[in-house]
Structure 1
Amino acid sequence: MISEGSSFFRGLLIGGVFCVFVTFIGHIKMGHEPAAPHEHHHLHAPNKDEVLKLSEDERVEMSHSIRVYCIILVMPKHLALWAAVRETWSKHCDKVDFYSSEEVKAFESISVDTSDMWAMMRRSVKIAYENHKMEYNWYFVCQPSVFAVIENLKYFLLKKDPSQPYYLGHTTKSGDLDYVDINGGIVLSVESMKRLISVFNEPENCPETGGLIWKVSEDKQLAICLKYKGVLAENAEDSVGKDVFNTKSVGSLIKEAMANDPQKVVEGCCSDMAITFSGLSANNMQVMMYGVYRLRAYGHSYNDALVFMPPANSNND
């Protein structure tokens, strides 16, 4: 009995060591450390006073130069959210396509024939880039629980050169890896898309499947692949340092702000130039649409320096 028990525990120990070794090898193959360590990056929106100093011709040219293609990753189980996004904020993208895990006849979508989220993201961005790289210079990738204010995104991108490798949103840290959280949406410049497509052809650096022992989330895997091409995650903030990509809903953020300091709910909650909120239901989407685009305080004129018009054939404001 003692001998059998000893053999059992010896086998258990050897098996445990083997698992750790395999996990370590899988971690290396995914390429966490091809580049030198770097500091966390922060990107800020333009200062409104700087924009006001531009001539009217410069403002018009800049407002027309930012072309955003929205890539929305959907599953059939998300039909209600899918429908809500179609009818609300996505109409403000210069182009929007819904990339689905399978064909759904009720909606126009591009089927990528996989339910694996990383493979789904890879195939979607590859199709988007190969078909539209000459038409759009910024790509916004998100899931259907996100509500995005595309005009605020364009304002944020105003002085950023899409020929540079931008990869931005709400950054999170996992070990030594900075990555943009998919829950708040991910923005890639056309240069970053170009580099991403090229690393797809290097399976040793950017495998189509995750780790050997456990799956790596699609947003982390994206960061790993981009890091091999020198593209690093950058946290997007307004001119005073508040996050503009939010991984929670407005309601959740307000509750947190009230708990932290009831006297400073607005200051502690959200940026005036917020770009995304997450975790919304289909009904929440409609409420957000009303609050962001349709509700007006009579007699007030905002006199914004720039005007971003919705695309042609859009029935939104």
Structure 2
Amino acid sequence: MSSSRQGAAVELSVAEERKALWAKTKAALVELHAKHLTKYEWFLKADDDTYVIVENLRFFLLDKDPSQPLYFGYPFRVIVPGGYVSGGAGYVLSREALRRVVEQGLMQGRCRPDGSSPEDAELGRCLKNVGAIRVETRDVLGRNRFFPLAIEHFLAASALPRTWWIWRYSMHPVQTGKNCCSDTAVAFHYVRPQSMYLFEYLLYHAKVLGGPDERIHLRQLPPPPEL
């Protein structure tokens, strides 16, 4: 979704400015609801400076039920009672969560009608108002899968000063160093354009010869239905 037609992007009639992010998000959700609700089970929102490892996202969602009003992301504990998830880190809505946001929230006035508020906090309020459920996204070791800041700030403890807002905002204790990040991490925010190519190369092309083979075996999926 974009404010202008660029390649395959859907053009939305919303200004290209930060204060219009909630308006743009609402327009995108309405568009998805109108044209794609029955086609897909999950809907991912990510910024243009967010790198997403789609394979890990699919693995994470494998045992989740899209018919339930679920959403996922990096949770903050401020502003919205019960918290909300970071917009920059990317978040995922189930089909039912999207349906409720549009049909019960936006269409029935249970979500903020104007477009000038912080997008992620307003969506958090909207999700709360329609009874959506935030699902834990950390792994069994408590390591995050979604990251609202550049990954280097989490990998090196010295790169994440205690004065930064994230220490106060985060729902869970912030972890830094080698135990900061899940082996099945999903999304990283504030990735520079050049670094997108670096991520792509290191993840999909570089090989560690002689290293351990730690393949994750996904559970076998049922055969496709006979037509």
TM-score, scaled to structure 2: 0.80
Between structures 1 and 2, the one with greater helix share: 1
The aligned counterpart of 2:194 is 283
Contact 1:257 1:265 in 2 (8 A): no
> Structure 1: 5+ residue runs without aligned partners?
1-98, 309-317
The aligned counterpart of 1:113 is 13
1:141 counterpart (29, 45, 63): 45
C-alpha spacing 1:276/1:259, structure 2 compared with 1 (3 Å): closer
Contact 1:223 1:233 in 2 (8 A): no
Q: Does 1:193 align with 2:104?
A: no
Residue deviations 1:135-184 (CA, integer Å, cap 9, x gap) = 21011101111001111111111211111111110010224251110011
Contact 1:118 1:218 in 2 (8 A): yes
2:138 counterpart (227, 233, 237): 237
Q: 1:101: how far off?
A: 1.3
Counterpart-to-counterpart distance in 2, 1:242 and 1:112: 36
Structure 2 residue matching 1:119: 3-state secondary structure:
helix
C-alpha spacing 1:258/1:227, structure 2 compared with 1 (3 Å): closer
2:3 counterpart (80, 87, 101): 101
Where do 4+ consecutive residues of structure 1 move more than 4 Å?
257-260
Equivalent residue runs for 1:166-315 within 5 Å? 166-175=70-79, 176-198=81-103, 199-203=105-109, 205-210=110-115, 215-256=116-157, 265-267=177-179, 269-299=180-210, 301-306=213-218
> Structure 2: 5+ residue runs without aligned partners?
162-175, 221-227
TM-score, scaled to structure 1: 0.58
Between structures 1 and 2, the one with greater strand share: 1
Counterpart-to-counterpart distance in 1, 2:214 and 2:24: 41
Q: 1:134: how far off?
A: 2.1
* AA partner of residue 14 (structure 2): T
C-alpha spacing 1:207/1:237, structure 2 compared with 1 (3 Å): same
C-alpha spacing 1:120/1:259, structure 2 compared with 1 (3 Å): closer
Counterpart-to-counterpart distance in 2, 1:265 and 1:221: 32
- Report which stretch shifted further, 174-183 or 277-286: 174-183
Counterpart-to-counterpart distance in 2, 1:168 and 1:232: 9
Q: 1:226: how far off?
A: 1.5
The aligned counterpart of 1:85 is none
C-alpha spacing 1:111/1:239, structure 2 compared with 1 (3 Å): same
